[in-house]
Amino acid sequence: MLNILQQYWWVIVSLLGALLVFLMFVQGGQSLLFGTVKSKEEKTLLVNALGHKWELTFTTLVTFGGAIFASFPLYYSTSFGGAYWLWMTILFLFVIQAVSYEFRSKAGNFLGAKTYETFLFLNGMFGTILIGVAVGTFFTGGAFIMNKSSITNTLQPTISYWTNNYHGLEAITVPFNMLMGIVVYFAARTLGLLYIIMQIDFEPLAKKAKNQIKITGPAFVLAFVALLLSLFTMTGYHVNPENGFISAVRYKYLFNMTELIWPFIMLFTGVILVIGGLANTLFGKGKGSFYITGAGVVLAVWSLLICAAFNNTAFFVSTVDIQNSLTLQNSSSSEFTLKVMAYASLMVPFVFAYIVYVWRAMTKVKMSNEDLLKPDTHKY
């Protein structure tokens, strides 16, 4: 029963991670503030269109962290507690985003709108890349040591600790992690462009977005193909289900896909949806492309995160000693905790249905300059 609950909660956590990548279309849109979007009118439209959705990304990030903390607390304490410079940088970039949406158009704003637009741009550029780097560590691991017996040490009851002074920043030097960051950036930027085309009623801006998608869309697809080639040829770490011994296995993640089958079907479906959504924009009318491409991104990312831990795979490898690596078995909460949480998770479909309802109500009509001129309109 415990093994089933551990897998169930990894599926939930992985889904939250995939949804987070999709919702980062807000960050992708913010990355257009300098270069693509230039006039004050265009920036105001863009910021206000994205402003209706930025809380969803932030909330999903917090929910992802909370779900990890509750279901796999040893990963939470090891990664968030050990690689804290990486996570603190990510948190800082998201905090300045929240502040920027709140104060950009406030009267008496002594920093000026351009300062807050710069903050939004930094969040859009580096927030996406660093989130991708953090996701990449599910496959590449970190420099930590785990010793559960140290919990009895009254002076320093720390189960795991980092072995270098970089505390997570070294993750940006790992090529695979940076490739994952680039993929997340291009995914967010592509979805941001598609959202602009779908949601903003301003022809000059829509035209710029359509021109940009011709570059960003193919770049996203090529970067994702490069990521898959790198992932499927890299070494993973197999966990012996009988004694917990961890050993290196070449092509482990490719084996996970082919042996489990259903993640491969998810990945294949996701790739087809992404290509179909982009093709619909480039060669068709583009109706529904944002949702088609977004669904493809969710399925593709979800399948990769599932393969990071399923099929007896260590999902957070210790680069110091692989026997200290984290697995679903050695990092999860107790069976009682996971069971109680599983009952609580039955409410998730109702919450999701409410989010869909609110989303549809807020995106039913495209945003235009006329909407922003209404006296009762809240402007970001």
Domain ranges in the chain are 2-212+312-373
One-letter identity of residue 136: G
Res. 46: pLDDT tops 60: yes
Q: Flag the least confident range among 48-52, 97-101, 148-152, 243-247.
A: 148-152
Q: What is the mean pLDDT of residues 59-82?
A: 87
Q: What is the mean pLDDT of residues 325-349?
A: 87
pLDDT for residue 293: 95
Res. 85: pLDDT tops 90: yes
Q: Hey, what are 371's tokens?
A: 């909407």
Res. 154: pLDDT tops 80: no
Res. 312: pLDDT tops 60: yes
Q: Which residues make Cβ contacts (< 8 Å) with residue 259, sequence separation at least 6?
A: 311
Q: Which residues make Cβ contacts (< 8 Å) with residue 41, sequence separation at least 6?
A: 202, 369
Model confidence at 124, in pLDDT bands (50, 70, 90)?
Answer: very high
More reliable by pLDDT, 160 or 75: 75
Backbone φ and ψ for 247, nearest 5 degrees, come out as -135, 150
E strand or H helix that includes residue 142 = none
pLDDT for residue 161: 78
Backbone φ and ψ for 221, nearest 5 degrees, come out as -60, -45
| Cross-strand pairs, 249 | 236
Q: What is the mean pLDDT of residues 304-327?
A: 92
Q: What is the mean pLDDT of residues 274-291?
A: 89
Length of the chain as a residue count: 380
pLDDT for residue 194: 94
Q: Flag the least confident range among 50-59, 71-80, 241-250, 323-332.
A: 50-59
Q: Hey, what are 61's tokens?
A: 């990030």
CB 108 within 8 A of CB 49: no
Q: Flag the least confident range among 1-5, 69-73, 226-230, 350-354.
A: 350-354
pLDDT for residue 291: 93
CB 53 within 8 A of CB 136: no
pLDDT for residue 213: 93
Mean pLDDT taken over the chain: 88
pLDDT for residue 274: 95
Q: Hey, what are 374's tokens?
A: 């209404």
Predicted TM-score (pTM) of the model is: 0.92
**What whole-number distance in Å separates Cα of residue 329 and Cα of residue 72?**
9
Model confidence at 135, in pLDDT bands (50, 70, 90)?
Answer: very high
Model confidence at 346, in pLDDT bands (50, 70, 90)?
Answer: confident
**What whole-number distance in Å separates Cα of residue 63 and Cα of residue 346?**
16
pLDDT tens column, 360-374? 777 777 777 766 666
Model confidence at 157, in pLDDT bands (50, 70, 90)?
Answer: low
pLDDT tens column, 210-224? 999 999 999 999 999
Query: Residue 286's Cα: distance from chain center in Å?
Result: 25
CB 87 within 8 A of CB 68: no
R_g of the chain, CA atoms, integer Å: 21
